[in-house]
Structure 1
Amino acid sequence: MKSFRSGGRQIEVLNGIEMRLFAGRLTMLRGRSGSGKTTLLNLLGGLDRPTAGEVLFAGRPLHRLSDKRLTVVRRREIGFIFQSFALLPLLTARENVELSLRMAGVPRSQWKDRVDRCIDLVGLTKRASHLPSELSGGEQQRVAIAKAIAHRPRLLLADEPTAELDSLMASRMIAAFREIAEEERIAICLTTHDSSLWGAADIVYRMADGRIVPEN
């Protein structure tokens, strides 16, 4: 459960959520804006804490960890793809991906091969030396995806990761997510409004009014 107070009232954002994410599988959350998808991703990734209930990550109660320990877990074991891309403007695409490895404590000797792999997966090999300002919105989003998977997280969370992509590139990105999930045994959970992508998921949860609701 997740709630907050507003104007003297207790507002429930999430309630009655029960779900599991599995290594090697792609899970999608679908639903209208305001249904609670982004709030749920924030709880799953330790960016927020539940008002009641538990969030377990690899058997650990994520919501009970200290802020310091939670920061370490997020840097080393969880990948995030935000709608704002979160790229550093003075770093090239390649350097932005390298930054993820640096923050996760990955030895420098492993950076080149891993960055090459991730950049290639998102189709940006020829654009790797460009700054974010020199890339289109879709290309920036692909850099954000490469950055999020570079340190081999156990869990990858993505909020509308294909929103800036055309239908062809969106399909390619979802295919890349599936390949990454299966090859590296990562649990991937993403939100999307694009109904054409739902069939590519292993599991789809439909959300409405802060709850997971059964399909009609």
Structure 2
Amino acid sequence: MDATPTPILTVKGVERSFQVGGEQLHVLKGIHMELKPEQLVMLRGRSGSGKTTLLNLIGGLDQPSNGEIMFQGHSFHQCSDDERTQIRRRDIGFIFQSYALMPLLSAWENVELGLRMAGAPRSEWKSRVTHCLELVGLGKRMDHRPFELSGGEQQRVAIAKAIVHRPSLLLADEPTAELDSQMGAQIMSVFRSIIATEKVTICMTTHDPTILEVADHVYEMVDGRFIS
């Protein structure tokens, strides 16, 4: 690998403000960052520091008030809603704190749904779904529904669903917040193996100091800014 690989995403001078009761609330105040290939990057900060807002901008779920976001050569901040949706569907996976699984579907069916939504050829479904569930350690739990799985297992299903369409970027909002420290450490181990196997970059938010040591880079966030 090149000593200085080209970032897959760059954020330059990004600001985000919201109108609240006639006042401007400045949530992000000039953010600069890079996400490089096959890295685990953490946005660390207290609730209200702006890290989830930034994650939503990186994932194209929202647009900045000022600044630039470049993702694999696309000016994400200038794309239309439809263009951003297409890029997300193809190149980005999301993991939410609440797992966001369909309760009546098995682990297998939940992950398969990710491939259906991405428009992947049906011939690939079986091998790809199996691979992703085995990668997260759920090879023997594929037929279980979410209510039959522990919190950590549900989070693994959510991870498998997020990577099944082969994204280049995986975004996770507080993925260990609902888990105990042992389960949190296991999820971090799963993330490291996914980076190695799937060649994906992971950017996640956290306020858990116990998992920072596994990150390639940590951005510390306070009041809408990064502090060194």
Q: State the TM-score, normalized to the length of structure 1.
A: 0.94
1:119 to 116, 122, 133: 133
Instruction: For structure 2, list consecutive stretches of 5 or more residues without a partner in the other structure.
Output: 1-14
Q: Deviations over 1:61-95 (max 9, x none)?
A: 11221212211111111000011211112211111
1:87 to 63, 88, 101: 101
> Are 1:190 and 2:204 matched, yes or no?
yes
Separation of aligned partners in 1, 2:19 and 2:36: 33
Q: Percent sequence identity over matched residues? A: 63
Separation of aligned partners in 2, 1:205 and 1:116: 34
Instruction: For structure 1, list consecutive stretches of 5 or more residues without a partner in the other structure.
Output: none
Count residues in correspondence. Answer: 214
- 1:189 partner amino acid: C
Report the secondary structure of 2:159's partner residue: helix
1:72 corresponds in structure 2 to 86
Larger RCO (CA within 8 A; separation ≥ 6)? 1
Separation of aligned partners in 2, 1:165 and 1:123: 17
How many angstroms does 1:102 deviate by? 1.3
Report the secondary structure of 1:176's partner residue: helix
Separation of aligned partners in 1, 2:150 and 2:95: 17
1:167 corresponds in structure 2 to 181
Name which of structure 1's ranges 174-183 and 6-15 shifts more when overlaid on structure 2: 174-183
Report the secondary structure of 1:35's partner residue: coil
1:213 corresponds in structure 2 to 227
Name which of structure 1's ranges 144-153 and 174-183 shifts more when overlaid on structure 2: 174-183
1:39 corresponds in structure 2 to 53
When the two chains are superposed, the root-mean-square deviation of aligned CA atoms in Å is 1.3
Separation of aligned partners in 2, 1:179 and 1:134: 25
Q: Deviations over 1:110-161 (max 9, x none)?
A: 2222212211222222221112232233322221111111111011000011
Q: State the TM-score, normalized to the length of structure 2.
A: 0.89
Hey, which of these two has a bigger chunk of strand by percent? 2
2:75 corresponds in structure 1 to 61
